[in-house]
Amino acid sequence: MSVKVAEEWLNICGGCEVTILDIGEPLLDLLPKLEFVHMPVLMDNKYFGQMGEKAELEIPEADVGIISGGVRNEKEKHVALEMRKKCKTLVSLGSCACFGGIHALANH
């Protein structure tokens, strides 16, 4: 049985995603055990349907959610809250997600 994973990047520097890829070959052993159901960094994503026709934000349910990047505006807050609703376990990844990172200075 695979673990469903949803990953969302908000206001990011991109370093966390690069670091995950730098794991290299050990990551390949893990991939068959995972099912990526939401990952905008790897696949096209339309939150409100392909043509914007839906009123509700669409993020699939997942066993594990990973958020990288800080929350800087209302849209990102909405996405983060939706990830919290749809994921059994939610993990923040990196300095930007945990502490705001350099992007947190933009609102000051």
Query: 93 and 66 in contact (C-beta within 8 Å)?
Result: yes
Yes or no: domain 3-107 corresponds to CATH 3.30.360.10: no
Task: Look at residue 55 and tell me whether its pLDDT is greater than 70.
Answer: no
Task: Look at residue 75 and tell me whether its pLDDT is greater than 60.
Answer: yes
CA distance 63 to 70: 22
Position 94 scores a pLDDT of 86
**Which of residues 46 and 7 earns the better pLDDT score?**
7
What is the pLDDT of the chain when averaged over all its residues?
83
3-class secondary-structure state, position 86: helix
Q: Report domain extents, the chain.
A: 3-107
pLDDT tens digits, residue range 87-106?
Answer: 999 999 988 888 877 777 76
CA distance 28 to 56: 34
Q: Report which DSSP code applies to 31.
A: G
CA distance 12 to 30: 25
